[in-house]
Structure 1
Amino acid sequence: MIFTWFRAALAGVLMSSAPVHQRIESFLDRTLPTGPGGTVAVASHGKLVHCAGFGLADRETKTPARCDTAYDVMSITKQFTAAAIMKLQMMGKLHTTDRIDAHLGPVPADKRLITVRHLLTHASGLRDLGDDYAPVSRDAMVQRALASPLRSRPGAEFHYSNVGYSLLAAIVERVSGSSYERFLAEHLFAPAGMTSTGYVLPRWAPGQIAIEYDKHGNRRGRPTEHPWAADGPYWYLRGNGGMLSTARDMYRWHRALETDTILSRRAKAELFTPRVLTDRKAKVYYGYGWGVLPRTEHGRVAEHDGGNDWSFGEFARFPDKRAMVFWITNQAYRAGKWNLEDINNKLTSGLVRAL
């Protein structure tokens, strides 16, 4: 899921003997077309070696994309929700093996065996329900999710489920007594030094949030201009997507996960354990809010992408190399010169090789 025109340039990045920042800058300068905007960040051994924008965050005002431009990170949000669950487990308020009825109240008979872990690993069998921007409250979402027929029995199969992560966000609220965003802000983002991540709590600077554009280049507005409740997205999106963040904050998140600042070593081990096989050929598993590849040419990899009709992003961590790659665009073509289906792995891998 990345730009097809990166393929031809990869060899130049890997062969260059220039410093890594210069190699990456030269690579992007040679290959990025006009039009779509975005940001690329690369970290190595605790340092942010590259963080810069390409193209425009707002075409109407000619505002360039920058390191501190904020984007909707889409399904990358799920790792924050999973980390919140692990934090609550560390606090002794729940356990991932709990059945969901312990925290959501009575559930129908066919869902009594669903556990928090099933939600985390997309093994609950739950179906997604509706449009991201439908004006649905938390309690209505929970009621509709529990009333819907299952795709498979709990624990039997992997079925990617956004509503499962919205239920996790509801559990965060029920167990903590705090709003979902505020719990993340106080227990995850603030300790990590993340000042520009959230829905409505951050003090967004004017023009900081990127405008999104559809495949025809038409303006779709900022994520905050889509139908939202006063405190963030409605509940078909909350917890599973819609979080706003910057490349610099995603680096800070990576650094926090390299230490015990937020989660204990034991909690992180559980978070990144490969649990449910999602791609037999590629040997990809799902952990808690992360795709996990136990063995690659770069060692272990934990990654997650996010995409909608307008934007696309990828966040990948390489623990054995102490490296991170994050990139995001505010216009995600699905055809033509922007082909997001075939070389995301090649770009991410190439940037790591350039370190």
Structure 2
Amino acid sequence: MRLHRLLILALTVQGAACIPLIAAAQAGTLDRTRVMHVVDSIVGVEIAAGRVAGMTVAMVRGRDTLLLKPYGRANLELDVPTPDEAVYDIASQAKTFTAAAVMLLMEQGKLSPDDPVAKHLPGVLPADAGGRVTVRHLLTHTSGIPEYSILPAFIDIWQRSYPAPPPADTILKLVAPLPLAFEPGTAMVYSNSGYHLLGALVERVSGKSLEDYLAAEVFPRAGMRSTRRYRVTEIIPNLTSGYVSGPNGLRPGHGQGDHWWNRGASGFVSTAADVARWLQALHGSSILGAEAYQALVAPGTLADGTPLRYGSGVALQTMRGHRAFSHGGAIPSGYNSFGAWLPDDSLAVVVLSNTLGGTDTEAIVARIVGALLGDRRPSPTPFAGPVEPYLGTYRSAATYFFTSFRIAAADTGGLTVSIDGGAPLPLAQYGEDRFATGNGYMFYTFLREGGVVTGVRVEHPVGVMRFRKETAAPEEQRP
């Protein structure tokens, strides 16, 4: 798998059947015995099938720890069971740490969301871009700064950097001369580059390294005891080994390295208990004041008014129909994680895994939520209308997540979508010219000019992108 696909693997959700709703959940309480039974049933299948080496699940409501349980193996070679305090690389969940640090600095009046990047990091971006890209653009992935993880120059340096990291400004120098992929604020494309810059910005404004600032100003407010920057030169007690799932089963993940390339975007290890504490503190009143917190979770918007399903370092989504503030993470060294705060239930649900590619932790969280709190997703409407207007290939040069997809007619009626040549997935209709995969996870809204379909706006929790329809060959026009 290409590196950038591994870095964003946690952005996709797989559909799965739900265990029936329990009466206790309807009453607003969750029975520990039932919670353990449900989670054991869901996770046990993944472990038994060999799709994942190990996993830890935490569910916390208030002071009530409903579940904190390890599963599987921390190390397959030595047949080591996952310990109670297992430590995992949480990858992009660290973006929420960085966003909270930025919000704290805003509370202190040291920066503003509308500050241009050039004000705090002069010379990092081209002169014309540095004045147009703001802190808000970085927080909401709407900056247009190219993604460094797909640059050949980065991949070459990354492969040669183990174990000694290159200079700290390496990423900044790689990104600096590149033109923006799109005008800031006109699209949303998940950006490790943007959060790397935010990490540098926190360091410049605070006068401390991001690691030290979080350790001194952020983590203590949440009572986090096991969250730290990963370093290949240090022993980290209870650190699990990472694995990647492939056609021939599990294999060791790529060597960790020092995560020099993910300042602000990733690079931290933690436990399920600590991530649950983080979610409770962040969405309580322990980290940010009321105004800063509302800014953190407020949906971003594009320049044309299109709402985002993302705030600042926080994805705004629904899990089986329940509101959730969340973030996931995945990394080639073999880790996959997801943490969600359900505000209407005051519930933190965390799944950390030391396996990438076999089981999606976001899907596990969704299945747990659906099983215990009920599946409240809206039902799609039957497909209405001819398929011909939608058929064809759609492309965009503004995103690295995927660059093209094809809309085709399903054998059973309706439409399918194939992303970058992948297997066709059925599209369910949710309104006029509006369809979705995964029962509402990724939406495709077809755009018309003069009544003719000319493009698609693709929306998911960490991206809003426009794709232009190519001129279809005659055989593509037929259902």
* TM-score normalised to structure 2 length: 0.63
Name the CA distance, whole Å, in 2 between partners of 1:342 and 1:264. Answer: 29
8 Å Cα contact 1:311-1:329 kept in structure 2: yes
Cα distance, 1:319 vs. partner? 1.2
Note if 1:322 corresponds to 2:346. Answer: yes
Pair 284,14 (structure 1): closer, same or farther in 2 beyond 3 Å = farther
Bigger share in strand: 2
Residue 23 in 1 paired to residue 34 in 2? yes
Q: Contact conserved, 1:69 with 1:209, CA < 8 A, in 2?
A: yes
C-alpha spacing 1:297/1:3, structure 2 compared with 1 (3 Å) = closer
Structure 1 counterpart SS, 2:74: strand
Name the counterpart of 2:431: none
Structure 1 unaligned blocks of 5 or more: 278-282
Is it true that 1:353 corresponds to 2:364 in the alignment?
no
How many Å apart are 1:95 and its aligned residue?
Answer: 1.2
CA distance in 2, matches of 1:128, 1:3: 22
Q: Does structure 2 retain, via aligned residues, the 8 Å contact 1:121–1:288? A: yes
Q: Tell me the secondary structure at the aligned position of residue 350 of structure 1.
A: helix
Correspondence 1:210 to 2:234:
no
The amino acid of 1:142's aligned partner reads L
Q: Write the distance in 2 (CA, Å) between the matches of 1:51 and 1:76.
A: 19
TM-score after normalising by structure 1: 0.84
Deviation string 1:19-42 (CA, Å, 9 cap, x unpaired) is 632223222333413342111111
Within a 5 Å distance, the mapping from 1:14-93 to structure 2 comes to: 14=22, 20-31=31-42, 32=44, 33-34=47-48, 35=50, 36=52, 37-93=54-110
Question: What residue is the counterpart of 2:298 in the other structure?
Answer: 273
**Corresponding letter in the other structure for 2:69:** A
Cα distance in 1, alignment partners of residues 312 and 167 from structure 2: 25
Instruction: Give the direction of change, closer, same or farther, for the CA distance of 1:62–1:103 in structure 2 (3 Å limit).
Output: same
Q: For residues 153 and 308 of structure 1, do their structure 2 counterparts lie closer, same or farther at Cα, with a shift above 3 Å needed?
A: same
* Residue equivalent to 2:128: 110
Aligned to 1:128: 147
Displacement of 1:219? 2.3
Q: CA deviation at 1:156?
A: 1.2
Show the counterpart of 2:426: none
Would the alpha carbon gap of residues 180 and 121 (structure 1) be closer, same or farther in structure 2, given more than 3 Å must change?
same
Greater C-alpha Rg: 2
Map 1:222-261 → 2, pairs under 5 A: 226-228=256-258, 233-234=259-260, 236-261=261-286
Give CA-to-partner distance per residue, 1:277-315, whole Å, 9 cap, x none: 7xxxxx8611101111389842x3211111234221111
Secondary structure of the structure 2 residue equivalent to 1:214: strand
Structure 2 residues without counterparts, runs of 5 or longer: 1-9, 149-153, 375-479
Deviation at 1:163, TM superposition (A): 0.8
Partner of residue 119, structure 1? 138
Distance 2:361 2:61 in 1: 26
Write the distance in 2 (CA, Å) between the matches of 1:54 and 1:198: 23
1:95 equivalent to 2:87? Answer no
Question: Which protein has greater RCO, CA pairs closer than 8 Å, 6+ apart?
Answer: 1
Give how far 1:186 is off: 0.6
Which among 185, 192, 200 is matched to residue 170 of structure 1? Answer: 200
Give distance in 1, aligned partners of 2:318 and 2:354: 31
Q: Which amino acid aligns with 2:32?
A: H
Q: RMSD over aligned Cα, in angstroms?
A: 3.1
Counterpart contact for 1:75–1:304, Cα < 8 Å: yes
Tell me how far apart the structure 2 counterparts of residues 342 and 72 of structure 1 sit (CA, whole Å).
Answer: 16
Task: Specify the code of the residue in structure 1 equivalent to 2:370.
Answer: G
Q: CA deviation at 1:63?
A: 2.4
* CA distance, structure 2, for counterparts of residue 22 and residue 205 of structure 1: 36
Could you tell me which amino acid in structure 2 is paired with residue 11 of structure 1? I
2:434 counterpart residue number: none
Return the alpha-carbon distance in structure 2 between the equivalents of residues 197 and 332 of structure 1: 20
Partner of 1:179: 209
The answer on whether the counterparts of 1:46 and 1:322 sit within 8 Å (CA) in structure 2 is no
1:7 shift after superposition: 3.7
**CA distance in 1 between partners of 2:184 and 2:329 (Å):** 25
Question: Within 1, Cα distance between the matches of 2:362 and 2:90?
Answer: 20
Residue 138 of structure 1 contacts residue 170 of structure 1 at CA under 8 Å; is this kept in 2?
A: no
Q: Tell me the SS of whatever aligns to 2:95.
A: helix
8 Å CA contact retained: 1:306, 1:314: yes
Going from structure 1 to structure 2, the CA distance change for 1:12 and 1:55 (only over 3 Å counts) comes to farther
Q: Distance in 1 between matches of 2:23 and 2:94?
A: 35
Deviation at 1:165, TM superposition (A): 0.2
- Could you tell me which amino acid in structure 1 is paired with residue 187 of structure 2? E
Asked if the contact 1:81–1:289 (Cα under 8 Å) also holds between the matched residues in 2, the reply is yes
The equivalent residue for 2:190 is: 160
What residue identity is the alignment partner of 2:96? Q
Aligned equivalents of 2:277, 2:361: Cα separation in 1: 28
Aligned length: 334
1:193 equivalent to 2:223? Answer yes
Q: What CA deviation, in whole Å up to 9, does each residue of 1:67-123 have, x standing for no partner?
A: 421111111110000000001111221111110111101342331210011000000
Q: Deviation at 1:200?
A: 4.8
Write the distance in 1 (CA, Å) between the matches of 2:227 and 2:147: 25
Map of 1:306 onto structure 2: 329
Residues 70 and 245 of structure 1 are in contact (CA less than 8 Å); yes or no, is this contact kept in structure 2?
yes
Tell me whether 252-261 or 265-274 shows the greater mean CA deviation: 252-261
Identity %, equivalent residues: 31
1:207 offset after TM fit, Å?
4.6
